[in-house]
Amino acid sequence: MKDKRILEINNLHVSFKTYAGLVQAVRGVSFHLNKGETLAVVGESGCGKTVTAKAIMGLLPEPQSIIDKEKSSILINGKNLLDLSDEEMTHVRGKQISMIFQDPMTSLNPTMKIGDQIAESIMIHENKSKEEARKEALRMLELVKIPNAKERLDQYPFEFSGGMRQRVMIAIALACNPEVLIADEPTTALDVTIQAQIMDLIGELQKELNTGVILVTHDLGVVASVADRIQVMYAGKIVERGTTDEIFYSPRHPYTYALLKSIPKLGSDRREKLYSLVGTPPDLTNPPKGCPFAARCEFSMKVCRAVHPDTVAFGDTHEASCWLHDPRADVNGVPEILLGRGETNGK
């Protein structure tokens, strides 16, 4: 059932105290996740993707991080996680929401055997004995297709390859059958072949367990075949959201358009220069008044720097925040695809 809403984020605001001032890392982000679906959160490094994920997990560093609890809410099955104590959150993490972290090389404890690391979560959340937890850990290693799983239980992380460590991370995250799985750049440190295997594995396990997945990545190419919906983040805000087909075939925000242009395409002329988005994201200690992408946007107008655009809907599932869709906008030279009059080359 992909129509049952299990996670809902409302107006999330997260800031960090630094020597330079208060960094407004996440600025009014709202979205939801349905049971059994995959939602991809896409954007450059520093756009707020991982901060949003860690805010959901209750893993932001303290006291440096500040969540505006008067404005924000993070609901799982209607329960606001921001109202829970640290002790109460330990019963949510791993059981209801789990996370696969970016780097399996540093996320696993190098001093603990792999079997013990998987069994630890099972004993905490499932109230099972050490022997029962070990049997379940073995089942999870077999589920994520670790060869010779029984022998591998008693090995240490340094005895595993990068792809195998990532499979172990997936086993730990899914050990207690959580309703929500957050995968934060799960394939970043892996080669292309292993990337495909890991994404296929997450998809297979999701179907088997009916888990809702939030896939955090900077690479639109990774999510093309796995995501049901995509939301594009920039400078702590969601600038566009839609189904996978809507984002790939009919992007409506210049930032999304630039990300798609940056993907190398099979069959392109080898002498053709690969597109690169110029400039850097804005300083979020002093966020711009207007559109945060205006300084880097080749279609920017005067109003873009002065006033933040309203969100425009292009249907039930597709929306973007861009002045180009205002009836008064000067659209000379703007690609037809951004105006909804053409198509991209597809996925």
Is pLDDT above 70 for 276? yes
Averaged pLDDT, 245-257: 95
Angle ∠(237,239,244) on CA atoms, nearest 5: 120
Give the span between the Cα atoms of 25 and 309, in whole angstroms.
19
Q: What is the DSSP letter of 23?
A: E
Averaged pLDDT, 159-180: 88
Residues 70-125 have pLDDT tens digits of 999 999 999 999 999 988 998 899 889 999 887 767 788 999 999 999 999 899 88
Question: pLDDT category, 175, cuts 50, 70, 90?
Answer: confident
What element of type H or E holds 14? strand 5-18
Is 0.85 surpassed by the pTM of this model? Answer: yes
Q: Look at residue 59 in the predicted model and tell me its pLDDT.
A: 92
Averaged pLDDT, 179-201: 81
User: Per-residue b/e over 84-101, b at no fewer than 16 CB within 10 Å?
Assistant: eeeeeeeebbbbbbbbbb
Encoded tokens for 291: 């559109």
Q: Which of these, 28, 20, 96, lies nearest to 233 by C-alpha position?
A: 28
Burial category of 229 from C-beta neighbours within 10 Å (exposed 0-12, middle 13-18, buried 19 and up)? buried
* Pairing between β-strand 73-76 and β-strand 79-80 as defined by DSSP bridges: antiparallel
If one counts every other C-beta atom within 10 angstroms of the C-beta of residue 270, the result is: 4
Q: Look at residue 225 in the predicted model and tell me its pLDDT.
A: 85
Cβ-Cβ contacts under 8 Å for 166 (sequence gap 6 or more): 100, 104, 186, 187, 189, 190, 194, 198
Question: pLDDT category, 189, cuts 50, 70, 90?
Answer: low
Q: What are phi and psi of 206, to 5 degrees?
A: -60, -45
Residue 233 contacts residue 39 (beta carbons within 8 Å): no
Is pLDDT above 90 for 316? yes
**Sign of the dihedral defined by the CA atoms of residues 246, 249, 252, 257, in that order:** positive
Mean pLDDT of the chain: 89
Encoded tokens for 101: 């972290």
Averaged pLDDT, 143-156: 91
- HSE, side-chain direction, 13 A CA sphere, residue 250: 16
Residues 38-65 have pLDDT tens digits of 999 999 988 999 999 999 999 999 899 9
